[in-house]
Chains A and B, each alone.
Chain A
Amino acid sequence: MPDPRDNLPSQQRLMAYADGELDADAALSAMRQVAADPAASQAVEQQLRLRQAVSRAVHAEPGPSDDLARRVSAMAFQMPAEPAGRLRWMRLGIAAAVAMLAVGILIGRFALSPDQPTVANRGVTVVPVAAVLPDEYVKSATQVHVRCSRGTDHHSGRGWPVEMASLETPVKQYANNQDLAYPDLSSIGFNYVGCATCGRPEQRGVHLVYRSVGGTDTLSLFVEPYTQQVDLPPNACRYCPKSDVHPVLVWRTEKLVFIMVGNARTPIEKARVAMKLPEPI
């Protein structure tokens, strides 16, 4: 079946080029057109900006209400433990205790299954549905991500910030031990922009910014000293269940916490695979 992306009218071809949807030959042809024709270049730039503007405007929409979150969680925790291949459901109007358990889990006070054994054949430890990160971490990280997505003039071009003295020792040790001081995400189409402390002195770490080819998307990686406020075993990886608009992936070593923030889940998943991180638990 012919691909509808072949033989597109000129304007649609430029849009498909801006979207990264053309094959190599068509993309090269479009690139030449853009290089030779200022109007074509402007059209592509405009499409990139339009996409960013729509994403930003829609992301500003308030998230689900607490009441909705509770109702959905209550459904989730009514899933009975059934043999594989069979799931039977309890009726929805069941015990307030189940709903209260869901509420407790939502606010991070209960452990869902604190004594679950390690799943030996997958090497994954099941952890409770808790916050993973304190609320203020998530809020601060996403605010910095959004702010720095709009401008990274204060980020240094390569390596670590000049203000190394302000960093906590584990972060400095990490920086000094790496031949490449930051993860390379170029294989997934994200180029490293720079690094700065970005006004998070309480965490004493650094903020690395990555921008997609074409500049439509941004990934943030925060590298910070581990504290006991982070609820995650070493070498485990987990999406923060309380992150709102922006997905937040967290992993840690013995002494460091890595927090990746993006505008959508797909690029974060690609980054996770590219960095050879374990599957999220």
Chain B
Amino acid sequence: MDRPEQLRFRDLVLAELPAVHRLAVYLSRSRQTAEDLVQDTYLRVFRSAGTYRETDLGPRPWLFKILHNVWRSRAGKPVAAGAPADELVEQTAAPDVVPLELDWEQVDERVKRAVEQLPDNYRDVLLLWAVEDLKYREIADITGVPIGTVMSRLFRARQMLTESLADVAAERGLA
């Protein structure tokens, strides 16, 4: 990487700091841990600068992949493809979608709490889908699991969120 490319690379990855931090906070559920994750991530990013290949999507998916690897290695999590719990979700009949009558603009705090309470693997894919607007295949690449597993985890995460928000609707006399 020559000097102008280094400068450009530096700009590109530093501009993604808020997004990387945001994902780190929700993965770790701790701002303190998130700071450590982000710092370790960027250490690896700058060490691996020569391996970065620019795409139309920008550096964000690449950065997220590194963040995931850092998070997993810290937490001692192996990359598990198609764990039994995910297969069960695929095979059981899906319950009917609970229709929600909600003022969606007023439930941010409850949504935030519901997301934080999701199991790690479900929260992970949900964030990449909802917040970063990534496609299933992109999420699979970042998380290192098959696309079918991404889909089943995402499906289950959305079910759990909907069930949680159904309680909100009931409390407010809307369901």
Contact = CB atoms under 8 A, between A and B. Distances in A.
B50 interface: yes
Across the A-B interface, give the 7 residue pairs with the lowest CB-CB distance, nearest first: A4-B148, A54-B130, A11-B94, A57-B111, A64-B21, A57-B112, A57-B108
B83 interface: no
A118 to B, nearest CB: 9
Contact of B151 (A4, A51, A76, A270): A4
Given A19-B136, A79-B49, 9 more contacts: A5-B136, A15-B154, A53-B111, A64-B38, A65-B35, A82-B1, A126-B7, A265-B57, A269-B58
Interface in A73-123: 73, 75-79, 81-82, 84-85, 87, 89, 112-113, 116, 119
Interface string A58-80: 11110111001101110111110
Query: Contact size class for A?
Result: 35 or more
A266 B112 contact: no
Contact of A217 (B39, B109, B133): B133
A8 B4 CA distance: 48
Contacts of B107: 53
A58 B131 contact: yes
Contacts of B46: 75-76, 78-79, 87, 89
> Which of B47, B58, B132, B146 gathers the greatest number of chain A CB atoms within 10 Å?
B58
A51 B115 contact: no
B162 A50 contact: yes
Contacts of B15: 239-241, 243, 247
